[in-house]
Structure 1
Amino acid sequence: MDIMIVAHRVPYPADKGEKIRTFHQLKYLVEQGFQLTVFAPVERPQELEYASQLAKVLSIKVITAPLPAAWWRKLKALCCNRAMSEMHFYSQALQQQLSTAVQASAPRAILATSSAMAPYISKAVSQLGSAKRPLLLMDFMDLDSDKWRQYSVTAGWPMRWVYRREAKLVAQLEQQVYRSFDHSFFISANEVELFGQQLSDTTKVSVLANGLDTQAFYPAEPKAADQVAAAPVFLFTGVMDYLPNEDAVLWFVEAMWPLIRQRYPQAKFYIAGMQPSKRIQQLEKQPGVIVTGYVDDILPYYQQADIFVGPFRLARGVQNKILQAMACGLPIVTTPLGAEGIACEDGQQLLVASDPAQFVAAIMHLLAAPALRQQLSDAALQLIQQHYSWQGVLAPLSASLTAQQGQP
């Protein structure tokens, strides 16, 4: 069965949330025997090499086309009353390649990654008769319209206006996708429920969860309790110019880190992730804070840490970094948003805190209780092994596709 995937970024290397998700979907589908062709816009020359590597690694066809200049995409979004995120990923050259391929090969299914890619598919299939129309699937991942709404709540002018506009236009696009596509997926039941509040019917939407590669993330040998107590190591990982990550780390360092360092003067906080913004880079002026920038291998940072912190105030969907920390056996303190969509319970696999005082208290409690740290670690590892293998969580995707194989 031939499937076309229209991805908003080349999903390789699998080094950030949405690229990890899409890469493992592709890998899974190849293992299930599907024939894949991936279409993706590219913004930087290096992405062409990534596309070539992806094609070799998975033995699939990858087609790319360049994006126009960023200023032109923004101007076109404003002039045409389109969402910025939609136009950010739109390449007329890629549209032509996709439309030509759809007309020539009549794929049995097309899968899009994010609502921003829906216009590509709508245009590509618009000239097909109903008998040739492929199955259309959308992986929304997160409910992006609500993410932009969250941004608008705390932003100042003029970004408040920009985010409100984006939330409105993306919501319209999401609902259009629901009407015109055959089925859509979200990363968690929370996202499905939130989207359902905008609709009268949710029969064409379901959960396609994130998984975890337990061969890539696993615990290190435990440290001695006195070593942890003398110089505890804290960790946050992620793309560090992404607003929810940036906000989380700034809040943690400004509101909580001084209290932690007062009690543990040798404590260290590693902020490990690519593209740290200027505000994140400035945090290295704080005692004990280390900003790594891009790292070739994130596993050693998980394995040297004692506690993973997820102080999210802006977030949507399941946080891969929380799953990774669980797989590495790290005790975790996070806000409710960090635990959202994960089949965990406060006090069982992690600790949940809503404000700085609760967050610091939870950290102090963990550092004073080695048995609790081990208990949380063991329970989190068990949760990952039972519920978050990629093979298991991607079964609904395969089911949606194979259900069509017997149809004319």
Structure 2
Amino acid sequence: MAEDTCLAGKLYRADGVKEFAMNILFLAHRIPYPPDKGDKIRAYNEIKYFAAHHTVDVCCLLDDPADEKYIEPLSKMCRRLEVVKINAVLKKALSLSSLLNPKVSCTEIYFYDTRLQKAVNRLIAENTYDLIFIYCSSMDKYVRRVKNVPAVIDFVDIDSDKWMQYAKHAPFPKNIVFKIEGQKLARLEHAIAERVKASFLVTEKEVEFFGGNQTVHSVPNGIDTVFFDPAKTPADPKLQSERYVEFTGAMDYFPNEDGVVFFCEEILPHIHKTDPDLKFYIVGRNPTDKVKALASDHVVVTGGVTDIRPYIKYAQLAVTPLRMARGIQNKILEAAAMGQAVVTTSQAHEGLAFEPGRDIIVEDDPKRFAQAVVGLLNNPEKRSEIASSALKMLKKHYSWEANLSVMDSIIRSSFSK
């Protein structure tokens, strides 16, 4: 047992690793509740974990009026909560001014608000924090000049590379704007990584892609297998009577929009040649006009739903035909937890511990993707084998408690460096 010593009133082991309950200031770019989409799911679980082991104050922005009702339940998870509401339309317009400034990104302008800055300054003045936890690069500006409190950042994904991917698929002149945004964010991300004690990404591949810094670590996402349990999912006779494959996700998110359009236009026609009655369910809130236009006799666009689990449970299988993706796709973890086989692309599969052909089917070519779907539809035994194997891998690699305890240990160790 390492001998303990006391430094500045805090407990250290002889190896320099702190072992104490920290006071944490957690900064999030959006209200991390409910855990119903990628960035919210990870932030929610981090706050939940830290609140169980430490003391957490949360500062965040709210850019969707529909999320106002979630302020109260989030406030019960932390000691103090500061939420600043912003006008998304106005912010998007203001963020265009970044085109005239070679040093500031559109993302930084969108997520910066002087009212939240004042709230952050006040909390830092009134409290003694052991750690500032920055969730996403857009929140760094609020604490960039704070020198007396150590900070770490969870980049989650490499946002700069996302914008570069968008640029490849966007028409002129959007592709130029997206490329410039990607370049600005890349400079910002590396500057932050050099300044903070530790940085986190979702996958080891992203850490390798980011490169150049030994303080960048991978901490995978997890999945709540108690909630995502088909046995505990409410029955839905209507869905049970349907024959469909499903896709879940926030449908105002460009990669999701692109993915379902790609599926409907280039994959589904091949499937319908041999399985003309199969339906495709697009499940997720805020569908764009482009997504709504996909609705037909064989394509169902649900919009927001109160519970996505029945839509996953009663599907024949799940599809994630994403051509742009970073990090770990929560929709794949959710489908696996619900006992579904998944057909996906190499982009969406990247970073997952699932073995292609054993735990998941991976195809990029539209025709081969369609053949994989039809093959599984016609082979329930194979479908069940893949789903069962994926569930085993899920339970082994994607526990929030286990993964976030690793993050906690890395943070503690970083204090001694």
Q: Scaled by the length of structure 2, what TM-score is found? A: 0.88
Q: Could you tell me which residue of structure 2 aligns to residue 397 of structure 1?
A: 407
Please tell me whether residue 110 in structure 1 is matched to residue 120 in structure 2.
no
Give 1:266 shift: 2.0
Which structure 1 residue ranges, 5 or more long, are not aligned?
222-229
Helix, strand or coil at the partner of 2:59: strand
Match of 1:303 among 302, 313, 320: 313
CA distance in 1, matches of 2:316, 2:138: 38
Once the two structures are aligned, what percentage of the paired residues are identical? 35
CA distance in 2, matches of 1:45, 1:331: 35
Q: Which amino acid aligns with 1:168?
A: Q
CA contact (8 A) 1:142 1:316 kept: yes
Give 1:166 shift: 0.4
Q: How big is each residue's C-alpha offset from its partner over 1:195-214, in whole Å with a ceiling of 9 and x where there is no partner?
A: 01xx3xx2110011100000
Please tell me whether residue 36 in structure 1 is matched to residue 46 in structure 2.
no
Q: How big is each residue's C-alpha offset from its partner over 1:332-391, in whole Å with a ceiling of 9 and x where there is no partner?
A: 111111111110111111111110111011112112222111110110111111111111
Q: Which amino acid aligns with 1:137?
A: V
Residues 80/101 of structure 1: CA separation in 2 closer, same or farther (3 Å cut):
farther
Give 1:219 shift: 3.1
Please tell me whether residue 94 in structure 1 is matched to residue 116 in structure 2.
yes
Match of 2:178 among 145, 163, 169: 163
CA distance in 2, matches of 1:5, 1:184: 14
Residues 102/404 of structure 1: CA separation in 2 closer, same or farther (3 Å cut):
farther
CA distance in 1, matches of 2:92, 2:380: 53
Q: Could you tell me which residue of structure 1 aligns to residue 357 of structure 2?
A: 347
Q: Could you tell me which residue of structure 1 aligns to residue 84 of structure 2?
A: 65
CA contact (8 A) 1:220 1:303 kept: no
Q: How big is each residue's C-alpha offset from its partner over 1:310-343, in whole Å with a ceiling of 9 and x where there is no partner?
A: 1111111110000101111111111111111110
Q: How many residues align?
A: 386
Please tell me whether residue 173 in structure 1 is matched to residue 173 in structure 2.
no
Which structure 2 residue ranges, 5 or more long, are not aligned?
1-21, 233-240
Q: Could you tell me which residue of structure 2 aligns to residue 52 of structure 1?
A: 72
CA distance in 1, matches of 2:387, 2:290: 32
CA distance in 1, matches of 2:272, 2:93: 47
Superposition pairs of residues 270-285 of structure 1, within 5 angstroms: 270-285=281-296
Give 1:231 shift: 6.6
CA contact (8 A) 2:230 2:309 kept: no
CA contact (8 A) 1:188 1:318 kept: yes
CA contact (8 A) 1:66 1:93 kept: no
CA contact (8 A) 2:58 2:78 kept: no
Helix, strand or coil at the partner of 1:12: coil
Match of 1:289 among 281, 296, 299: 299
Match of 2:251 among 240, 245, 269: 240
Q: Could you tell me which residue of structure 1 aligns to residue 26 of structure 2?
A: 5
Q: Could you tell me which residue of structure 1 aligns to residue 44 of structure 2?
A: 23
Residues 367/66 of structure 1: CA separation in 2 closer, same or farther (3 Å cut):
closer
CA distance in 1, matches of 2:280, 2:207: 35
The CA RMSD over aligned residues, in Å, is 2.0
CA contact (8 A) 2:255 2:323 kept: yes
CA distance in 2, matches of 1:231, 1:295: 17
Q: Could you tell me which residue of structure 1 aligns to residue 344 of structure 2?
A: 334
Match of 2:220 among 199, 209, 231: 209
Give 1:217 shift: 0.7
Please tell me whether residue 219 in structure 1 is matched to residue 230 in structure 2.
yes
CA distance in 2, matches of 1:149, 1:299: 33
Q: Which amino acid aligns with 1:21?
A: R
Helix, strand or coil at the partner of 2:293: helix
Helix, strand or coil at the partner of 1:256: helix
Q: Scaled by the length of structure 1, what TM-score is found? A: 0.90
Give 1:158 shift: 1.4
CA contact (8 A) 1:66 1:91 kept: no
Give 1:31 shift: 1.5
CA contact (8 A) 1:5 1:36 kept: yes
Q: Could you tell me which residue of structure 1 aligns to residue 9 of structure 2?
A: none
Q: Which amino acid aligns with 1:269?
A: F
Q: Could you tell me which residue of structure 1 aligns to residue 394 of structure 2?
A: 384
Please tell me whether residue 141 in structure 1 is matched to residue 156 in structure 2.
yes
